């Protein structure tokens, strides 16, 4: 049995959660933020070295202007309300993806949060913002080529997650069973875990169940 060091989550199902309750999509996203808050606290309890969450993909810009605006507003409120708690609990914030594509006020808040938690040594909370794995791999390959050698090792060294432990477990909620352009390189030998639970209903107990199943799996990395 082995313990996971790095867990990533595709947080799916906010819209369906709201629809089932005849509520606006934004309410589903609000409850999704509450689930993030629970999971960040749970990451400490389970002694994870890194927790990576898929918050906003490069494809999410295709959503309605109203929904994108709501997501940006929720992100700002989450940073403003939870930053001090993260800092006090030794959590270090990291962003993967191109967050500088957001509006200046969002960029400023993100950079303040990064600076505020930069010296923390506990769990790393890596938030994927304006992130797409294919774009990440292309950028990493180009950077490796510019340095003169393109190999799996040199590409891996240029990935957004290069300073994180190898990905052990990737969880997706809501019953969907695809990776949706998330951590494609990093997931090469990660264990995958799919659950029908919609993201707003996902709790620390659900994370515990996933971690327990991971601990009982035999990881072979292509061997027997």
The structure tokens 């490069």 sit at 58
Q: Is residue 222 part of a domain?
A: no
Q: Is residue 74 part of a domain?
A: yes
* pLDDT of res. 181: 96
How many other β-carbons are positioned within 10 Å of the β-carbon of residue 203? 13
Q: Is residue 47 part of a domain?
A: yes
Q: Is residue 167 part of a domain?
A: yes
Q: Is residue 76 part of a domain?
A: yes
- Rounded CA-CA distance 136/161 in Å is 10
Q: What is the pLDDT of residues 99-118, one digit of tens each?
A: 999 889 999 999 999 999 99
How many other β-carbons are positioned within 10 Å of the β-carbon of residue 220? 8
Q: What is the dihedral of CA 61, 66, 67, 72, to 10 degrees?
A: 80
Q: What is the pLDDT of residues 173-208, one digit of tens each?
A: 999 999 999 999 999 999 999 999 999 999 999 999
The structure tokens 């993030």 sit at 36
Domain containing 182: what range?
6-215
Q: Is residue 1 part of a domain?
A: no
- Whether 105 is catalytic is no
Q: Is residue 224 part of a domain?
A: no
Catalytic choice (12, 82, 160, 168): 12
The alpha helices in 21-150, defined as continuous H runs, are: 25-45, 65-88, 104-117, 133-146
Catalytic choice (14, 60, 98, 119): 60
Question: What CATH number does the domain containing 124 carry?
Answer: 3.40.1180.10
- Whether 60 is catalytic is yes
* pLDDT of res. 223: 58
Q: Number of folded domains in the chain? A: 1
Reported pTM:
0.93
């Amino acid at each position: 049995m082995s313990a996971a060091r790095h867990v990533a989550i595709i947080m799916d199902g906010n819209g369906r959660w709201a629809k089932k309750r005849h509520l606006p999509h934004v309410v589903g996203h609000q409850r999704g933020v509450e689930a993030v808050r629970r999971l960040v606290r749970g990451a400490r309890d389970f002694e994870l070295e890194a927790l990576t969450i898929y918050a906003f993909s490069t494809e999410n810009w295709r959503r309605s202007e109203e929904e994108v605006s709501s997501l940006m507003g929720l992100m700002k409120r989450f940073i403003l309300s939870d930053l001090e708690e993260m800092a006090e609990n030794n959590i270090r914030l990291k962003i993967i993806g191109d967050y500088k594509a957001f509006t200046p006020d969002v960029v400023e808040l993100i950079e303040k949060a990064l600076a505020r938690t930069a010296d923390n040594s506990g769990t790393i909370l890596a938030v994927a913002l304006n992130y797409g794995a294919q774009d990440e791999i292309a950028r990493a390959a180009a950077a490796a080529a510019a340095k003169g050698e393109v190999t799996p090792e040199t590409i891996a060294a240029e990935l957004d997650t290069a300073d994180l432990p190898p990905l052990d477990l990737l969880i997706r909620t809501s019953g969907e069973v695809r990776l949706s352009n998330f951590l494609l390189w990093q997931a090469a030998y990660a264990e995958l875990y799919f659950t029908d639970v919609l993201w707003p209903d996902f709790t620390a107990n659900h994370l515990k169940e996933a971690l327990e199943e991971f601990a009982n799996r035999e990881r072979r990395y292509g061997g027997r």
